[in-house]
Amino acid sequence: MNNLQTQDPDIFGLIQKEKTRQKEGLELIASENYVSSAVLEAMGSVLTNKYSEGYPGKRYYGGNIVIDEVESLAIERAKLLFGAEHVNVQPLSGSPANLAVYMALLNPGDKVLGFSLDQGGHLSHGHPLNFSGKLYTIIPYFAKRETEIIDMDEVEEIALREKPKMILAGFSAYSRSMDWQRFKQIADKIGAFTFADIAHIAGLIAGKQLESPVPYFDVVSTTTHKTLRGPRGAMIMCKEKFAKDIDRAVFPGVQGGPHDHINAAKAVAFAEALKPEFTEYSRQIIANARALADALTKRGYRVISGGTDNHIVLLDVFGSKQITGKEAEHALEVVNISVNKNMIPYDPRKPLDPSGVRIGTPALTTRGMKEGEMETVADLIDQALMNKDNEAKLLEIKSRVTEFALQFPVPGINN
């Protein structure tokens, strides 16, 4: 950091501040994680200097001998990790990856069946301001009101009635397992493409804790920076017969040159995820989410769907405690606990101030926390919410949070 410190003390200072924030806070945003020093090092490497439009062995620029090896290694490791027939590691992030999938399989106007956004779908699954909602006809499916779990019979009913060209299974805020095989059976009845977006749960699938859609689905996209604990980016896996269309849609369809430094860091993260320690890590993520859900239930918070199968716990804070999602997010931020406000299924409130908050355990699990620590985390959350209007009390809780957080080192931060 010496060069940065002398050349640009402003940015250096801000990075130091952010390090402190990450060390002293409790990161419970379900889509976030801490990468290893090895991943950071690959991201900060000279590979960023290269232009390499195209694919290994077929580039538009010279000098890509080394880059070809880097990208091929990332692809081989991803194939091994997920058992995929074909992998494209170039997508710059999850949303552009999904854009490429839509472009590869559909024409504008085509019908897509996807999980309702206000119940846990991602904005690239049909938000009216997103490309997906603007270019395609999105038909939503829902969680059942009584169970708050996706009702596969209803999915089938809608699919048979609407005959979408593609069925999309995936979510950003849902805590239950997906029935991939049933999705595939339904799609086969109407000849629809199957597209799984495992952005949130890729690490739990790589760690063999959740069933994988890769054997069943035509195409599977994922980010690499959430539970998978790699650099900010994405990849697309598919059956061999879609390989050409997917590759063309990524480049030149959506993107120009790949980010080779990021692809190198993806390769590093995939190698980490292939280790037995990662299986243990992903098992612990789910154990921690369950422990946190139980500890919060004991304190009177209603957990959506009654529990969790993954890293996500959705809380109905308004229904449980008459605190809105926005108020809860704010009170927790004051004490250095990061969560995000979130809609709950059939939310009577509005998106900007919904009934719920979404909590996730991947980041705290990376810091080495286990079930016992989840009891403390639940207590700190509850204390902050119960004292949300008491500034003095919140300050006191904040110092407890800091003291607790500092006992668990963040990978990649030494000073």
And the tokens for 309? Answer: 């199968």
Q: Provide the H-helix boundaries in 175-275.
A: 180-190, 202-206, 243-248, 260-273
DSSP single-letter state for residue 353 = B
Identify which of residues 336 and 342 has a Cβ nearer to ligand PLP in the complex: 342
- Distances from the Cα of 73 to the Cαs of 70, 138, 410, in angstroms? 5, 37, 28
Identify which of residues 171 and 216 has a Cβ nearer to ligand PLP in the complex: 171
And the tokens for 237? Answer: 């896996």
Q: Does 95 bind ligand PLP (CB under 6 A)?
A: yes
DSSP single-letter state for residue 249 = I
Q: Determine which one of 50, 59, 226, 388 is catalytic.
A: 226
Span 228-287, contacts to ligand PLP by CB under 6 A: 234
According to CB under 6 A, which one of 72, 93, 297, 376 is a site residue for ligand PLP? 93
Q: Does 27 bind ligand PLP (CB under 6 A)?
A: no
Stretch that binds ligand PLP, among 168-176, 326-334, 355-363, 386-394 (CB under 6 A): 168-176
Q: Does 172 bind ligand PLP (CB under 6 A)?
A: yes
Concerning whether 53 is annotated as a catalytic residue, the answer is yes
Q: How far is the CB of 375 from ligand PLP (least distance, A)?
A: 28
Q: Provide the H-helix boundaries in 147-201.
A: 152-162, 180-190
According to CB under 6 A, which one of 223, 263, 288, 324 is a site residue for ligand PLP? 223
Output phi, psi for 86, to 5 deg. Answer: -140, 140
Pattern 99-138, binding to ligand PLP, x per CB under 6 A?
A: -----------------------x-x--------------
- CA–CA separation, 212 vs 183, rounded Å? 13
- Distances from the Cα of 9 to the Cαs of 41, 98, 334, in angstroms? 21, 38, 27
Q: Does 340 bind ligand PLP (CB under 6 A)?
A: no
Identify which of residues 95 and 282 has a Cβ nearer to ligand PLP in the complex: 95
User: Which residue has 């008459």 as its token pair?
Assistant: 322
And the tokens for 169? Answer: 């299974």
Active site residues: 51, 53, 197, 223, 226, 232
Binding residues vs ligand PLP (CB under 6 A): 31, 93-95, 98, 122, 124, 170-172, 197, 199-200, 223, 234
